[in-house]
């Protein structure tokens, strides 16, 4: 192709033009796919969020459009550092019912552990789920009920129904540290990180509950 008939400039212009044609062609193909799949992707993301929330909060306990009633909160002390967290507000007949908070534990065994916590307006925990983590497979990953060997009573189930008014702030940790929560021998660090993060999130929800419910949907605190 590098024929002596063409000068260097002409060759480079011609090659660049061919490259541009290919780039435009395949970018158009990608753009078309993006447009076609976008509604389905948005629906999948919403469905995934709803599925997670439904695991910690019974669907009959609220009647508002939960996914739209969301605010973003920046509270590094309570909900973990590194950006804002989403807080969904569940209401029944217009009255505050529960808060679903995202929180992050940075003191796990490997990386950040992302958690969602449902807290009722009266300070009772509805349930918690670990949504993303890098804890050791087969050892610390029992914090995720899908990986927990105990299917009948997974480790996270002990959080369901505990109340902020019954357990003082210092006792939201594993029994080994004088807390009120179980852990599995050999993998204390993961359980401790999750338990403490849940405690901080519940405390935050109870303390700032009125502000969190009152904020306009879509706003940032």
Partner 1 sequence: MNIQALRESAYNGLWKQNPGLAQLLGLCPILAVSTSMVNAVSLGLATILVMAVANLAVSSLRNFIPYEIRIPVFILIIAALVTMVDLVFNAYLHSLYLVLGIFIPLIVTNCIVLARIEAFAAKNDALSSTIDGVVMGIGLVWVLALLGGVRELLGAGTLFSGIEMIFPEASAVSVFGDDYPGFLIAILPPGAFFALGCLIAAFNAINARMAARARRIPPAPATTAKPDAAPAAG
Nearer to partner 1, 49 or 195 (CB): 49
Under the binding rule (CB under 8 A), the answer on residue 139 touching partner 1 is: yes
Q: How far is the CB of 79 from partner 1 (least distance, A)?
A: 22
Residues 21-40 that bind partner 1 (CB under 8 A): 22-23, 26-27, 29-30, 33-34, 37-38, 40
Under the binding rule (CB under 8 A), the answer on residue 7 touching partner 1 is: no
Nearer to partner 1, 15 or 211 (CB): 15
Residues 46-105 that bind partner 1 (CB under 8 A): 47-48
Per-residue binding letters, 142-161, with partner 1 (x by CB under 8 A): -------x-x----------
Q: In what order do the strands lie in the sheet with 125-132?
A: 70-73, 85-92, 95-105, 113-120, 125-132
Nearer to partner 1, 25 or 93 (CB): 25
Q: What SS3 class is residue 37?
A: helix
Under the binding rule (CB under 8 A), the answer on residue 219 touching partner 1 is: no
Rounded Cα distance between 72 and 67, Å, is: 12
Maximum alpha-carbon separation in the chain: 88
Under the binding rule (CB under 8 A), the answer on residue 214 touching partner 1 is: no
CA end-to-end span of the chain, whole Å? 62
Rounded Cα distance between 66 and 197, Å, is: 23
Q: Which two tokens stand for residue 131?
A: 């949504």
Classify the phi-psi angles of 83: left when phi > 0, otherwise alpha if psi is within -120 to 50, otherwise beta.
left
Q: What SS3 class is residue 131?
A: strand
The contact set with partner 1 (CB under 8 A) reads 1-2, 15, 18-19, 22-23, 26-27, 29-30, 33-34, 37-38, 40-41, 44-45, 47-48, 136-139, 149, 151
């Amino acid at each position: 192709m590098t024929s002596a008939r063409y000068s260097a400039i002409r060759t480079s212009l011609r090659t660049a033009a061919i490259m541009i044609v290919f780039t435009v062609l395949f970018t158009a193909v990608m753009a078309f796919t993006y447009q076609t799949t976008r509604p389905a992707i948005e629906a999948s993301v919403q469905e995934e969020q709803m599925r997670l929330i439904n695991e910690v909060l019974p669907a009959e306990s609220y009647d508002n459009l939960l996914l739209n009633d969301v605010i973003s909160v920046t509270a590094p002390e309570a909900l973990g550092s590194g950006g804002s967290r989403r807080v969904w507000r569940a209401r029944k007949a217009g009255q505050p019912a529960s808060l679903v908070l995202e929180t992050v534990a940075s003191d796990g065994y490997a990386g950040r552990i992302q958690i969602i916590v449902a807290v009722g307006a009266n300070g009772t925990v509805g349930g918690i789920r670990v949504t993303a983590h890098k804890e050791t497979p087969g050892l610390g990953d029992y914090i995720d009920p899908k990986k927990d060997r105990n299917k009948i009573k997974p480790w996270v189930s002990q959080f369901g129904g505990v109340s902020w008014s019954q357990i003082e702030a210092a006792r939201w940790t594993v029994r080994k540290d004088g807390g009120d929560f179980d852990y599995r021998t050999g993998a204390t660090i993961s359980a401790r990180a999750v338990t403490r993060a849940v405690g901080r999130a519940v405390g935050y929800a109870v303390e700032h509950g009125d502000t969190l419910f009152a904020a306009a949907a879509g706003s940032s605190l």
